[in-house]
Amino acid sequence: MKLFNTLTRYKEDFKPIEEGHVKMYACGPTVYNYFHLGNARPFVTFDTLRRYLEYRGYDVEFCQNFTDIDDKMINRANEEGVTVKDIAERYIKEYYVDADGLNCKRPTYQPRATESIDAIIDIVSSLYDKGAAYVIEGDGVYYDISVKEDYGKLSHYNLEDLNPGGGERKASFEGKRNPGDFALWKFKKEGEPSWPSPWGEGRPGWHIECSAMIKKHLGNTIDIHGGGQDLIFPHHENEIAQSEAANGCTLANYWVHNAFVNVDGEKMSKSLGNFFTIRDIVAHFPYQVIRFFILSGHYRMPINFSDELLRASQTGLSRITTCGANLKFEIASGAVSGNGDDEILRKAVSEAKESFIAHMDDDLNTADAITDIFNLVKAANTAISGKNTSKEALGEALAVLTELTDVLGIKLFDEDEGIPAEITELVEQRAAAKKEKNWAEADRIRDLITSKGFSVKDTPNGPQVEKL
């Protein structure tokens, strides 16, 4: 497998530190609001990377954090007159509603920054003892970026390129050794949560949180670190600087970043006010359509958001799930007995799977991998309509279709696949009405079935019922 490494700007062969085992970290949400489509893209992207690595036989330890102490959270809590913890609890709960809806697997570890204070203080202490950190009275403990000779190696920035406001917390250069120096530990201000430390009451800076959680749960050096491209600088650059200075070794061997979701050519973001939360979108489109939409473009290419493109994704996803339902129906009906076209279907299925793996091996190319699934669907639909393919061959096609969609986190079938007794009874009543040529009653029952969230389609093998 090859992955594009932001650090080297090359597509490289993926070789884990430990054979058969992958340690991966991806930056999680700051939990002060519902997450939007731009936030969802890295969640889906790195969930898919994790799924594919597991599909290829790797044991994956995946850590994704919650940032539950932050300026935005403090401001939100003050606006509402509640605690920061109240805000965190509310939106972590809501995060899981949307993440589960998008079918993102739960990470191996999902720590909170506020539960990692001891680990944070340990790293800051190490940096301070080594002379890589210093105190600005009344403000906090800052990292001195000049101690890291290769600072800027991820973003390819030079120290001279950084403006006086380039660091975190202080908006001016006053008190800093370098313009880009950033806060590791922020001294307590009125109305802010705080914890004791060797330097005084305070709270962690943003960048140090991820470094501490990586070290605590995955170790000093990991295989893959992921996130959106907006995190390359300063967040990931500063993670590298502080972790490598403290630990004396490489933080991550592969840096993987997804591109933006754009609206009218601009990055979707809360600061620009052009964002759509996942909760907003699912009022009009199912979660699975949103996931399919995200995966329909290569993760390193920007994708544009529009209702039209989501509708196109809904149509494409429906083609796949309908094919799965038709295969399942044909196999279960017992009416398929031919085997004249078995080899044609088996060849198409084998080619689709091989091509899918080749595309996913090529820097997680989900866009072309989805095309491979469509090719499998086309072959399966041809086999079904031809009525000259055995149940065994159709079963093999269904198994591979299920296998490949599962790798992408796309549900081919609803978890509750059973048809309720009420619907089954209505289907039987409709069949009886049709037998009596009572077309009006048959149409009325069909509409009633539809209103209850199911469709019924007449086939030579009997009525086929599907959940809408």
Tell me the pLDDT tens digit for each residue of 37-66: 999 999 999 999 999 999 999 999 999 999
Q: How many CB atoms lie within 10 A of CB 96?
A: 13
Would 239 be classed as within a structural domain? yes
Domain termination residue (choose one: 303, 329, 353)? 303
Domain termination residue (choose one: 303, 328, 353)? 303
Question: 455-458: long-range contacts (C-beta < 8 A, 24 or more apart)?
Answer: 456/427, 456/430
In this structure, the answer to whether residues 195 and 135 fall within a common structural domain is yes
In this structure, the answer to whether residues 200 and 151 fall within a common structural domain is yes
Residue 468: band (very low, low, confident or very high) from pLDDT cuts 50, 70, 90: low
The pLDDT of 360-370, averaged and rounded, is 98
In this structure, the answer to whether residues 124 and 52 fall within a common structural domain is yes
DSSP string, 68-130: -S-HHHHHHHHHHTS-HHHHHHHHHHHHHHHHHHTTPPPPSB--BGGG-HHHHHHHHHHHHHT
Domain termination residue (choose one: 247, 268, 303)? 303
Per the structure, how many domains does the chain have?
A: 3
In this structure, the answer to whether residues 231 and 289 fall within a common structural domain is yes
Helix (H, G, I), strand (E, B) or coil at 48: helix
Would 413 be classed as within a structural domain? no
Q: Where are the beta strands (DSSP E) in 199-325?
A: 202-204, 222-228, 252-258, 261-263, 266-267, 303-304
Provide the token pair at 433: 């009405």
Quote the pTM value: 0.88
Selection from 323, 387, 380 nearest residue 351 by Cα: 380
- 283-327 pLDDT, tens digit per residue, is 999 999 999 999 999 999 999 999 999 999 999 999 999 999 999
On whether the CB atoms of residues 340 and 393 are closer than 8 A, the answer is no
Provide the token pair at 99: 């993440």
Would 309 be classed as within a structural domain? no
Segments forming the whole domain that contains residue 350: 317-407
On whether the CB atoms of residues 380 and 346 are closer than 8 A, the answer is no
Least confident of 29-43, 361-375, 440-454: 440-454
What pLDDT does 315 receive?
A: 97
In this structure, the answer to whether residues 101 and 10 fall within a common structural domain is yes
Would 311 be classed as within a structural domain? no
- 115-174 pLDDT, tens digit per residue, is 999 999 999 999 999 999 999 999 999 999 999 999 999 998 876 666 544 455 555 678
